[in-house]
Amino acid sequence: MSVDQTALLNAAADAAWHAYSPYSRFRVGAALLTGSGKVFTGCNVENASYGLTICAERVAVFNAISEGEKELLSIAICSDGAAYPCGACRQVLHEFSPGLVVILGDSAGNHSDQQNLKDLLPDPFGPGF
Q: Which residues are catalytic, by number?
A: 57
Evaluate whether 57 touches 74 at the Cβ level (below 8 Å): no
Q: What is the dihedral of CA 97, 129, 119, 31, to 10 degrees?
A: 30
Evaluate whether 79 touches 28 at the Cβ level (below 8 Å): yes
- Please, which residues have CB within 8 angstroms of residue 6's CB and are 6 or more apart in sequence? 109, 111
